[in-house]
Amino acid sequence: MYYKKLTGEKCYLAPIDENDVSLYTAWFNDLEVTRNLLAFSWSLNEKHERETLEKISKDNNYGIHDLGNDALIGGVGLHDLDFLHRRCEIGVFIGDKSYWGKGFGTEALHLLARFAFDYLNIRNIMLRVFEFNERAIKCYQKVGFKIIGKRRRAIEIERKVYDIIYMDLLSEDLS
Ligand SMILES: CC(C)(COP(=O)(O)OP(=O)(O)OC[C@H]1O[C@@H](n2cnc3c(N)ncnc32)[C@H](O)[C@@H]1OP(=O)(O)O)[C@@H](O)C(=O)NCCC(=O)NCCS
């Protein structure tokens, strides 16, 4: 059973269930997914993934579920929470590729950002994205994230060099 912590119109966010470990392991071994994340360099089997899930499940990381059928389709989480300066980072992935481009990423980010602003009293949420990841950049802009800079030539993948784009979001930017 999944627990609906935050619910939108097409998805809900639920605490991570370690019984889903094989799904997460499959996603983190899929280069089409991980080439967009720093995770492409990791070697992960189910044992390592289970340890990771156990650790991160206590820290504002959630599974993204299709509200229509409860299917787990990806994950979204807050990182580097700094309650002194009220800031954090956010990360998202949709592991089930059949769900890409259907608005789930946008809604999942919206739900967690709203939660961070309203319940964790966060003021500024930042994220990083590789410059070739146009779908992600479009998704982040739809949520309200603004480009604040770039780290030049900071990622090399498939023999090409790219910038890492930095974006951030304040409560009033949230669409
Ligand atoms: C990035 C990601 C989270 C976005 O979630 P999503 O549910 O696919 O995105 P959404 O459907 O909410 O929004 C994507 C938007 O980009 C558009 N889009 C899709 N493919 C695109 C492309 N190749 N170039 C530009 N825009 C594109 C979509 O049409 C949509 O805009 P629209 O609603 O105006 O039509 C998801 O695709 C994903 O997890 N990808 C793999 C891992 C990843 O990249 N994670 C992010 C790392 S920073």
Among 138, 153, 131, residue whose Cα is nearest residue 105? 138
| Nearest C-alpha neighbor of 133 from the set 155, 102, 111 | 155
133 lines ligand 1 (CB under 6 A): yes
- pTM value is 0.97
For ligand 1, whether the C-beta of 106 sits within 6 Å is yes
Helix (H, G, I), strand (E, B) or coil at 78: strand
Say if residue 75's pLDDT is above 90.
Answer: yes
State the pLDDT at residue 175.
Answer: 83
Q: Which ligand 1 atom is the nearest neighbour of the CA of 34?
A: 42
- For residue 76, what are the CA distances in angstroms to 89, 112, 119, 160? 11, 8, 17, 27
* 141 C-beta closer than 6 A to ligand 1: no
pLDDT of residue 40: 87
Which pLDDT belongs to residue 130?
98
Ligand 1 atom with least separation from CA of 32 = 41
Query: HSE on the CB side for 107, CA within 13 Å?
Result: 21
45 to each of 49, 70, 139, how far by Cα in Å? 6, 25, 30
Nearest-atom number in ligand 1 for the CA of 37 is: 47
35 has a pLDDT exceeding 90: yes
Helices marked H in the chain: 21-27, 31-34, 46-56, 104-118, 134-143
**Length of the chain, please?**
175
103 phi-psi bin (left φ>0, alpha ψ -120 to 50, beta other) = left
Task: State residue 136's pLDDT score.
Answer: 98
User: Which residue ranges make up each domain of the chain?
Assistant: 6-124
Class of domain 6-124: alpha beta
Question: What is the average pLDDT across 17-26?
Answer: 97
Residue showing tokens 């304040």:
170
Q: How far is CA 82 from CA 10, 50, 125, 136, in A?
A: 30, 26, 10, 25
